[in-house]
Structure 1
Amino acid sequence: MEGESVTLQTDVNVQRDDLILWMFNVNNADTRIAEIHRQSIYIYNKTVIFVDRVKMDSQTGSLTIRDIRTEHSGLYKLTIIQEKTTYRTFSVAVYAHLPIPVIKSNSSVAAERTSDSRCSVLCSVVNVSAVSLSWYKGNSVLSSISVSDLSISLSLLLEVEYQDNTYSCVVNNTITNRITHLNTSQTCQERSESLQNSHLVGITVSVILVLVVSSAVLIYFHQRKCKSEIIA
């Protein structure tokens, strides 16, 4: 996971004339990260993502990456030159911490309560990669969507039974998950109150318009009557 320290082990003890070399594949080209040669440690800062993050053990040549990030995912190559030469590779996959799914009543027309017993809700997560977003009812999957792209947002719509609190939204990758349980009484009620307020606003505006038009008509006829009396 991001933020942790990861150590890639050599499983050897460094001798005086040994060479231990670590490389990382960037854009299909191997770039030196660090090495031990004749018991001297060299850390290379050509690759920006490793600056101030890499440490090499002087006794074993093992490589430690501190505060690891998703950009450190990839193929690491180790070369050990002693009496014979040994090559090893390490495949590292770093996952970002998953956000907590956010559940809201859908703001579109489709989110209006379709009946007295159902409403539509939207579950969303932002800045995610290599995850799945799913709606559950109890332990059963109702719908799911997966993505492998980097740093995108996901949303999943669901029509639920009003006042049925067995629904939950889950975002997960291969190592962990985050869950948000749906409170239909609160989420659907918020939508219902919003609709009621909208209706009240609409009614109020209509009443005001009627009063304005009525007043204008009364003023018009009153003025005509006054003009007629003056002429007479």
Structure 2
Amino acid sequence: MFLKLVLLCLCLWRLDGVFGFLEVKYVKEGDSVTLNTGLTKIKDDDVIQWRFWIKKTLIAEINKRADRITVYDDVLDGRFRDRLKLDHQTGSLTIMNTTTEHAGRYKLQINSVIKSFNLVVYGEISVLEKDSVTLNSDLTEMKDDCQILWWFVNENTSIAEANVTADSITVYDDVDGRFRDRLKLDKQSGSLTITNTTTEHAGVYVLVQMTGENPSLKTFRVSVYARLPVPVISSNSSQCSSSSSSSSSCLLLCSAVNVSHVTLSWYKGNSLLSSISVSDLSISLSLPLEVEYQDKNTYSCVLNNTISNQTQHLDITQLCHTCADSVHCCGSTEAVIRLVLSALVGVATVIILVYDIRSRRAERDQAHTHTSVSDF
């Protein structure tokens, strides 16, 4: 029986779409899901039955012959209580506020025609790279007849198991090396902890639990996010126009490099001004912003993913220089260059004047000497 449960778990995640009469449905824990009959209207002589895979339990029925519509939501310890909705026109079944207890196979029988659904209810967990994550079994204590098995669906292999009856707990942490020295199985609850996570640990994990005759499945989808860098704000305000003594705005650029699955945004106070998102791997993002030089508002650039964010606040006085005078307008570097050029022009002018004076004096002296020789 325990082996059959494991095989069922694999089927739940390995089958996609519709194959024959088997359809796979995926739903996030807490959301609703509808299992459709495919009918547009029930006929007067139709009998429709919905059964859940544990003990082939009848959970809903429409019998048009007897003019009876029934929902059995108190079965199986009340796991379906106030969660089932049966469409009176089509016979489709909706399961609301799903939990992992609702995962498994559902059988629909319309008269003599049978169709099956595999429902995967998954919990979504996000963790930062290098942090630890615990996949909770929701057990406070494993009973004497309890057996559990943790399965990593990405590699189609078991990574941990416990058998209370046999007093056995085993961790298979050498699965292609990615889990080595990273798995911890709680002896009391059966919960699994993955330490020092990397992106290689992202994927689907299934807990198969068997206590007496009550089997259950619990599925997790784990996302591992890289730690975010602090975004960088730059400006090109050092450029100035020679035709104007002032400029009205400053162009800024917020950038982040080697990022994936993130959103880069500009905020004015708490109000979002603009944003750009990316799902590709390891690319560079940039987002421009134009502000007035005399703007007194607070601006910030934020880089965020699902579970974390990094913020860089804008200091307008440092990045945006006003054009009150040529020095400020053109920037300190250009101002220095202009001062040096002015000094060089001044020195050159003095040199030319001195040279001209000396040349004229030499010409006069030469003319005087020539006259003296002629008289002699």
TM-score range, shorter chain: 0.7 to 0.9
Q: State whether residues 257 and 283 of structure 2, in contact with CA within 8 Å, keep that contact through their aligned partners in structure 1.
A: yes
The equivalent position to 1:44 in structure 2, one of 144, 162, 173, is 173
Among 214, 217, 230, which residue is 1:87 paired with? 217
Q: What do the CA deviations read for 1:87-142 (whole angstroms, capped 9, x no partner)? A: 321111233333322212138969xx995331111112233222111112233332
Hey, what does 2:113 align to over in structure 1?
none
Query: By how many angstroms is 1:188 displaced?
Result: 1.3
Does residue 282 of structure 2 align to residue 155 of structure 1?
A: no
For 1:101, which of 231, 243, 263 is the aligned residue? 231
* 2:195 matched residue in structure 1: 66
Q: Out of 255, 260, 278, which is 1:124 matched to?
A: 255
Contact 1:23-1:78 within 8 A present in 2 as well: no
Give a deviation string over 1:16-73, Cα, whole Å, max 9, x none: 6735233241xxx423322235413132312333221111122332210112233322
Indicate conservation of the 8 Å contact 1:9/1:62, yes or no.
yes
Per mean C-alpha deviation after superposition, the further-off stretch among 120-129 and 11-20 is 11-20
Aligned counterparts of 1:137 and 1:63: Cα–Cα separation in 2: 43
| Preserved CA contact (<8 Å) 2:264 2:275 | yes
Aligned 8 A contact 1:23 1:34 in 2: no
Gaps of 5+ in 1: none
Q: What does residue 8 of structure 1 align with? A: 135
* Alignment correspondent of 1:32: 158
Unpaired segments ≥5 residues, structure 2: 1-126, 367-376
CA contact (8 A) 1:102 1:124 kept: yes
Aligned residue for 2:337?
A: 201
Paired with 2:237 and 2:160, the residues of 1 have a C-alpha distance of: 53
Alpha-carbon separation, structure 2, partners of 1:211 and 1:104: 38
Q: 1:53 aligns with which of 169, 182, 201?
A: 182
The code of the aligned residue for 1:71 comes to E
* Distance in 2 of aligned mates of 1:171 and 1:144: 10
Q: Structure 1: how far apart are the matches of 2:206 and 2:131?
A: 21
Partner of residue 122, structure 2: none
Letter in 2 for 1:31: T
CA distance in 1 between partners of 2:322 and 2:256 (Å): 21
Q: 1:14 to 1:67 in 2, by over 3 A?
A: farther
Distance between the aligned counterparts of 1:173 and 1:204, measured in 2?
50
**Identity of matched residues, %:** 46
The alignment partner of 1:99 has SS state of: coil
- 1:7–1:189 CA distance, 2 compared to 1 (3 A): same
Aligned partners of 1:77 and 1:90 also within 8 Å: yes
Greater RCO (CA < 8 Å, at least 6 residues apart): 1
Q: Compared with structure 1, are the counterparts of its residues 114 and 19 closer, same or farther at alpha carbon in structure 2 (3 Å cutoff)?
A: farther
By how many angstroms is 1:196 displaced?
3.9
> Cα gap change, 1:173/1:132 in structure 2, threshold over 3 Å: closer, same or farther?
same
> What residue identity is the alignment partner of 1:86?
S
Partner of residue 141, structure 1: 272
Write the distance in 1 (CA, Å) between the matches of 2:208 and 2:227: 32
| Residue correspondences, number | 220
Partner of 1:198, secondary structure, is helix
